């Protein structure tokens, strides 16, 4: 599926190219669209794995978007036919240099369940393991987010533990998943 993807260096920017999706580093102007994704309560609940009242969700979203602006070089938008449908981002785990934590949001709901998330993630994983030279990728997702878990499993992630976070007397269970470089089946490498 991803055999045709290329890693193209174009001046100072580059693109990760799949059959249907293109990933490129986020630009400040893209935040207009990313901010728009987080106006939708369902997106916020799935992305953060919580269900709270609107004002609380608004606050966590605004903190998250502020932090995202500090990670421009670790955030890529996902495009389909030149339209931004989502983004993916990573941060280093403070304690371990080659371990990262990953997040993905397809913010345009019309594109859910059509394999775009899986394709984008596989391309991004190939880039992270081969170009950024990470060894291990972790992520966590809400127990109720079955779609995300399935998408991550299709990319090779394995469930490693269950955890729970309690806020405002409500506990939210989450699933931690991880993928090691040696277990990643790199379809992009052909």
Residues lying near ligand COA in the complex (CB under 6 A) are found at 43, 46-47, 86, 104-106, 112-118, 141, 145-148, 150-151
Query: Where does 80-154 have alpha helices with state H?
Result: 116-130, 146-154
CB of 13 to ligand COA, least distance (A): 24
Output 17 or 78, the one with its CB closest to ligand COA: 78
CB of 32 to ligand COA, least distance (A): 19
- For residue 41, the Cα-to-chain-centroid distance in whole angstroms is 18
CB of 18 to ligand COA, least distance (A): 12
Output 18 or 24, the one with its CB closest to ligand COA: 18
CB of 108 to ligand COA, least distance (A): 9
Output 137 or 148, the one with its CB closest to ligand COA: 148
Output 116 or 124, the one with its CB closest to ligand COA: 116
CB of 69 to ligand COA, least distance (A): 19
Radius of gyration from C-alpha coordinates of the chain: 16
Q: Which structure tokens are listed for 115?
A: 């394999």
Q: How far apart are the first and last CA of the chain?
A: 9
Q: How many CB atoms lie within 10 A of CB 153?
A: 13
**89, 103 Cβ separation under 8 angstroms:** yes
Angle at 127 between CA 35 and CA 93, to 5 degrees: 70
DSSP characters over 91-125: EEETTEEEEEEEEEEE--GGGTTTTHHHHHHHHHH
Output 62 or 97, the one with its CB closest to ligand COA: 62
CB of 81 to ligand COA, least distance (A): 15
Output 10 or 18, the one with its CB closest to ligand COA: 18
Residue closest to ligand COA (Cβ): 117
- Give the residue from 163, 161, 181 showing the smallest Cα distance to 171: 163
**43, 107 Cβ separation under 8 angstroms:** yes
């Amino acid at each position: 599926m991803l055999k045709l993807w290329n890693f193209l260096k174009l001046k100072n920017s580059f693109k990760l190219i799949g059959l249907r999706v293109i990933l490129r580093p986020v630009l400040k102007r893209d935040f207009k669209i990313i901010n728009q994704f987080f106006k939708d309560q369902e997106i916020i609940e799935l992305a953060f794995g919580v269900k709270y009242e609107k004002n609380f969700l608004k606050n966590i979203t605004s903190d998250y978007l502020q932090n995202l602006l500090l990670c421009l070089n670790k955030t890529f938008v996902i495009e389909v036919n030149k339209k931004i449908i989502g983004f993916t981002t990573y941060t280093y785990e403070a304690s371990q240099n080659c371990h990262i934590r990953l997040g993905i949001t397809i913010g345009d709901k019309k594109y859910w369940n059509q394999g775009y998330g899986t394709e984008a993630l596989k391309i991004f994983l190939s880039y992270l393991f081969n170009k950024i030279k990470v060894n291990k990728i972790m992520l966590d997702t809400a127990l109720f987010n079955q779609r995300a878990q399935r998408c991550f499993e299709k990319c090779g992630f394995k469930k490693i533990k269950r955890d729970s976070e309690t806020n405002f007397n409500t506990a939210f269970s989450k699933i931690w998943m991880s993928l090691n470089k040696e277990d990643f089946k790199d379809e992009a490498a052909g």
